[in-house]
Structure 1
Amino acid sequence: MNLDELFPAKPDDPLTQLVKQDLDPLSIEELDARIAILEGEIQRVKAKRNASVNFRATADQLFKK
């Protein structure tokens, strides 16, 4: 997926800035810490997505004819 498709009008978006950051100056420890933080963020986003899917399924079931 192209990042420009996700954030075409948001050049200052933190995610856009994150993926453009130069990783060369980071140490192994800093890269490991970054990976841990990003993995935590992935889990948080997945939990939100799952909650949204479950909410939608519940609403669909409630209003189903």
Structure 2
Amino acid sequence: MDLDELFAKKGPGDPLVALLAQDLDRLSLEELEERIAALEAEVGRCRARISSAVNHRATAENLFRR
């Protein structure tokens, strides 16, 4: 998905759109490293939530199959 598609689906007030639109040229190397670390942590949090949702759904489906 490219940025144009993302921007078209979300409004200008969406935090993700604002994050992706930030000018990275103004950030120092240290700020860029901190940003990467924060984004990697958020990716991990999202992956954990996806895993939890998948496991919850599978558990529910198994419960109702009985």
Normalising by structure 1, we get a TM-score of 0.86
- Name structure 2 gaps, 5 residues minimum: none
Higher helix proportion, which one?
2
> After TM superposition, which residue ranges in structure 1, 4 or more long, deviate above 3 angstroms?
2-7
Change (3 A) 1:56 1:6: farther
Identity %, equivalent residues: 49
Q: State the shift of 1:36 in Å.
A: 0.4
Question: What is the total number of aligned residue pairs between the two structures?
Answer: 65
The residue aligned with 1:21 is: 22
Normalising by structure 2, we get a TM-score of 0.84
The residue identity in structure 1 corresponding to 2:15 is P
- Name structure 1 gaps, 5 residues minimum: none
